[in-house]
């Protein structure tokens, strides 16, 4: 379908629930949306895919009422709806689960429901938890509405937020990168909730960079690139390679044929290989020299539902990527924070390299960046005492800005400057900024916890190259992820956590043994 065919007709099908047409939105000189048209039908999952910065989340924020559009038209349930101003709270009948979540961590699920409804004194406090539980039972989900949100795992938090939205009576559910931080079991639970919701007549906008997942769950797929729609498809009529090519906009048909025939790809074809899950072949060599040794380490878990470490042994060598797999809650977060020096073990020995350890945490908003600060301030969090950065009691602004510009260029954070708020960056650029800052210190050990969370194919490629570049410079890398495919595409070897212990190690090509170990069968 050509760009000239992207405008939706004024007459829509009888089962159409929502029509957005001609939606535009600019932030200064940046045109985030340029006349976007898309519709949503009763009882369907409509996926919206595209690179970071393509405009997907901006479009959904306009739909949800979180943001005003500059121009355009929205028809919801057959009624014209204003989009030239933001809606306080939530637009009626629409629930938006954003990638980083929107619940208040200090409150319980029931209290979050009361807060979202905004009825103040008239809130039905007594029955709030029961209402969430009734929705959970309806869709076969497990949830405890009376536990503080901060005590829940990532998967439990997301599930709770969706159930709260459904308890409020939403007909349209917007899911932004819903499985980015979920293990396989949690992702399957989410899919069951989504299918149950649409079978009851609900409608879902599903934003994801995982194209195989999109193909499996969506009825229709819209592709966006640089603020415009470049493709509308029925899911059954399009391939993953076609979607990836439309997303990046740089692969010709000859490139697609090379990939489908397993022939040597041209340089631009690398992005398609990332989208298709091809394994990266690293040029580095593992050294016999360990950069990190954990011997008989035990440590308390930082979160509810997370296993403590018990007598764990791990050795990481220079120039290798060690993947850490396991069902969610097996001790991954505990291990990451022990390696990063944030948790002191209760027993055992930890031998870390002298100097800094690069740490890319699972939750970048909570643990890696300060959203209210500039890019410059975020980039010097670890290096503010570096010689040359100070002039007497003050920062040498020119030197710091030059350093920030160099880190941004090296990390491929394009179109951003030191003065810009870090909150204005897309999720992919925020992740690349964090990795660029950490690697700038020249670490001997890199701890990357779910480093590809919510990233598009181009950002994944950039992060992969940065990680492998650190290996080539002699660093050892520990990569922890709930996504087994991501681990297998990058790791030299894989250790499996179960109940806070490493119960086995396999090569990255031994998938059968890996599956048994993840089930606790050593």
- Tell me if 207 sits within 8 A of 176, measured CB to CB: yes
Residue 114: inside a domain: yes
d(Cα 285, Cα 271) in Å, to the nearest integer?
A: 25
> Dihedral through CA 156, CA 162, CA 165, CA 170, nearest 10?
-160
Over 21-84, what HEC string results?
EEEEEEECCEEEEEEEEEEEECCCEEEEECCCCCCHHHHHHHHHCCCCCCEEEEEECCEEECCC
Say how many domains are in the chain.
3
SS3 189: helix
CATH of the domain at 211: 3.40.50.300
Q: Are residues 62 and 97 both part of a single domain?
A: yes
> Is residue 64's pLDDT more than 80?
yes
Residue 230: inside a domain: yes
The boundaries of the domain holding residue 415 are 290-518
- Supply angle C-alpha 97, 101, 103, rounded to 5: 100
Q: Are residues 456 and 378 both part of a single domain?
A: yes
- Among the candidates 278, 302, 333, a domain finishes at 278
- Tell me if 41 sits within 8 A of 72, measured CB to CB: no
Residue 284: inside a domain: no
Q: Are residues 38 and 165 both part of a single domain?
A: yes
Q: Are residues 296 and 208 both part of a single domain?
A: no
Residue 285: inside a domain: no
Q: Report the pLDDT averaged over residues 45-68.
A: 89
Q: Are residues 215 and 271 both part of a single domain?
A: no
Q: Are residues 370 and 503 both part of a single domain?
A: yes
Q: Are residues 88 and 221 both part of a single domain?
A: yes
pTM of the model: 0.72
> Is residue 285's pLDDT more than 70?
no
Residue 283: inside a domain: no
- Percent pLDDT > 70 in the chain is 87
Q: Are residues 264 and 186 both part of a single domain?
A: no
Residue 162: inside a domain: yes
Which residues lie closer than 8 Å to 281 by C-beta, 6 or more apart?
none
Q: Are residues 315 and 416 both part of a single domain?
A: yes
Residue 140: inside a domain: yes
Looking up tokens 């690069």 gives 358
d(Cα 244, Cα 241) in Å, to the nearest integer?
A: 5
Distances (CA, A) of 489 to 149, 197, 474, 486, 492: 33, 33, 20, 5, 9
> Is residue 250's pLDDT more than 70?
no
Residue 519: its pLDDT value, please? Answer: 60
Distances (CA, A) of 269 to 251, 264, 277: 6, 9, 13
Looking up tokens 């969090």 gives 381
> Is residue 251's pLDDT more than 50?
no
Q: Put the strands of the sheet holding 445-449 in their side by side order.
A: 357-360, 445-449, 476-480, 321-325, 493-498, 501-507
Distances (CA, A) of 271 to 30, 118, 268, 437: 25, 45, 7, 24
Q: Are residues 217 and 254 both part of a single domain?
A: no
Q: Who wins on pLDDT, 443 or 272?
A: 443
Residue 308: inside a domain: yes
Residue 271: its pLDDT value, please? Answer: 61
Q: Are residues 27 and 74 both part of a single domain?
A: yes
- Tell me if 499 sits within 8 A of 518, measured CB to CB: no
- Tell me if 228 sits within 8 A of 1, measured CB to CB: no
pLDDT tens sequence across 352-408: 888 789 999 988 888 899 999 999 999 988 887 787 787 777 888 888 889 999 999
Rounded (10°) angle between helices 109-117 and 128-138: 110
Q: What is the mean pLDDT of the chain?
A: 83
Q: Are residues 37 and 88 both part of a single domain?
A: yes
- Given pLDDT bands bounded at 50, 70 and 90, which one contains residue 9? very low
């Amino acid at each position: 379908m050509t760009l000239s065919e992207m405008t939706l007709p004024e007459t829509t099908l009888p089962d159409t629930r929502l029509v957005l047409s001609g939606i535009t939105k600019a932030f200064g000189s940046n045109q985030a949306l340029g006349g976007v048209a898309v519709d949503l039908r009763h009882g369907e999952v409509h996926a919206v895919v595209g690179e970071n910065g393509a405009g997907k989340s901006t479009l959904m924020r306009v739909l949800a009422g979180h943001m005003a559009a500059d121009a355009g038209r929205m028809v919801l349930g057959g009624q014209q709806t204003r989009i030239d101003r933001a809606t306080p709270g939530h637009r009626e009948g629409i629930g938006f689960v954003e990638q980083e979540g929107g619940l208040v961590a200090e409150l319980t699920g029931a209290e979050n429901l009361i807060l979202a409804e905004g009825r103040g004194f008239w809130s039905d406090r007594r029955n709030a938890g029961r209402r969430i539980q009734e929705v959970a039972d309806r869709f076969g989900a497990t949830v405890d509405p009376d536990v503080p949100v901060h005590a829940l795992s990532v998967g439990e938090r997301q599930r709770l937020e969706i159930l709260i939205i459904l308890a409020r009576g939403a007909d349209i559910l917007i899911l932004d990168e819903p499985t980015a931080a979920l293990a396989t079991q949690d992702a399957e639970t989410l899919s069951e909730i989504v299918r149950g919701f649409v079978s009851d007549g609900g409608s879902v906008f599903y934003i994801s960079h995982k194209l195989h997942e999109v193909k499996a769950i969506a009825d229709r797929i819209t592709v966006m690139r640089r603020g415009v729609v470049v493709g509308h498809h029925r899911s059954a009529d399009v391939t993953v390679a076609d979607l990836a090519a439309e997303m990046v906009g740089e692969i010709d048909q000859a490139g697609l044929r090379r990939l489908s025939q397993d022939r040597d790809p041209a340089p631009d074809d690398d992005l398609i290989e990332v989208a298709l899950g091809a394994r990266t072949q690293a040029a580095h060599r593992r050294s016999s020299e360990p950069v990190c040794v954990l011997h008989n380490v035990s440590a308390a878990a930082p979160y509810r539902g997370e296993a403590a470490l018990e007598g764990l042994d791990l050795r990481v060598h220079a120039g290798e990527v060690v993947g850490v797999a396991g069902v969610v809650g097996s001790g991954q977060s505990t291990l990451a924070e022990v390696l990063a020096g944030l948790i002191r073990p209760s027993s055992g020995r930890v031998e870390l390299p002298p100097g800094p350890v690069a740490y890319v945490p699972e939750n970048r908003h909570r643990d890696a960046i300060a959203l209210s600060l500039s890019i410059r301030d975020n980039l010097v969090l670890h290096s503010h005492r570096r010689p040359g950065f100070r002039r007497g009691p003050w920062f040498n602004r020119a030197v710091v800005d030059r350093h920030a510009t160099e880190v941004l260029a090296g990390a491929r954070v394009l179109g951003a400057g030191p003065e810009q708020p870090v909150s204005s960056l897309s999720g992919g650029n925020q992740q690349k900024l964090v990795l660029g800052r950490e690697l700038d210190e020249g670490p001997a050990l890199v701890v990357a916890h779910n480093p590809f969370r919510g990233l598009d194919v181009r950002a994944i490629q950039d992060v992969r190259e940065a990680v492998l570049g650190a290996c080539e410079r002699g660093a050892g890398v520990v990569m922890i992820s709930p996504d087994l495919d991501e681990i297998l595409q990058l790791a030299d070897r894989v250790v499996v956590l179960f109940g806070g212990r490493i119960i086995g190690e396999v090569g990255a090509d031994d998938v059968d043994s890996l599956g048994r170990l993840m089930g606790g069968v050593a």
